[in-house]
Amino acid sequence: MIGANIQKIKEQIGQNVELVAVSKTKPIELLMEAYNAGQRLFGENKVQEMVTKYEQMPKDIEWHMIGHLQSNKVKYIAPFVSLIHGVDSLKLLEVINKEGEKCNRKINCLLQVFIADEETKFGLDENELNEVLKQINEHPEKYTHVNIVGLMGMATNTNDKDKISNEFKTLKKIFNRISPFTTHYSLLSMGMSGDYQIALQEGSNMIRVGSLIFGER
């Protein structure tokens, strides 16, 4: 069933959108079902859980950290993580850079932008985002082991489709505006099980889907 769920979503999203299978809280057997159906991008939001799954699963999987990441835990995932979605401060970016340097890797990161109408969601507001980008541009020598490859955002958890659509539009506008400033910049991670269709309409090229693939948590 997991394979069929993935197949169905992949048919809907086409070749130009990447599907991150959000496997948080789910056991290895279910992740392996997804793997055997061809899925290679997995998203986790807890460091320890991701490390355990990384150790137990095939090594051609790309592990995406999608949750809020604490600076003191970066070192555990730095050797293998392929994309960190939720970078929301310069301090965190500096720690990722330092840990990337230690394992001689350049770690791909998305800057998380706050677009929702909720107090619980992390992320930079537009001014903070501008400031982070300014610092990176002015001091490239301090960020030699990270690549900012795009932006990530989460819409408000609501049934109001216009509201979700407007929030994603806002993020897409910001994404388009800052694109000339960095070299590897191409990913716009927005959309989850409940709102990925709207996100796709608004220009997402990476969706993070959990419950629609693996079932409710």
Ligand X SMILES: *Cc1c(COP(=O)(O)O)cnc(C)c1O
Report, in Å, the least distance between residue 210 CB and ligand X: 3
Report, in Å, the least distance between residue 183 CB and ligand X: 26
**Candidate residues 90, 194, 197, 203; the one interacting with ligand X per rule CB under 6 A:** 194
Which positions from 109 through 128 interact with ligand X, judged by CB under 6 A?
Answer: none
Among all residues, whose Cβ is closest to ligand X?
Answer: 210
- What Rg do the C-alpha atoms of the chain give, in angstroms? 17
Our finding on whether 45 is near ligand X (CB under 6 A) is yes
Report, in Å, the least distance between residue 192 CB and ligand X: 4
Which positions from 195 through 214 interact with ligand X, judged by CB under 6 A?
Answer: 208-212
**Candidate residues 6, 22, 155, 178; the one interacting with ligand X per rule CB under 6 A:** 22
**Candidate residues 192, 198, 200, 206; the one interacting with ligand X per rule CB under 6 A:** 192
Q: Collect all residues with Cβ–Cβ distance below 8 Å to 152 and sequence separation of at least 6.
A: 66, 85, 86, 110, 111, 112, 113, 188, 189, 190
Region of 9-17, 53-61, 93-101, 191-199 interacting with ligand X (CB under 6 A): 191-199
Q: Which is nearer to ligand X, 99 or 195 (CB)?
A: 195
- Residues of the shown chain interacting with ligand X in the complex, contacts defined by CB under 6 A: 22, 24, 45, 66-67, 154, 192-194, 208-212
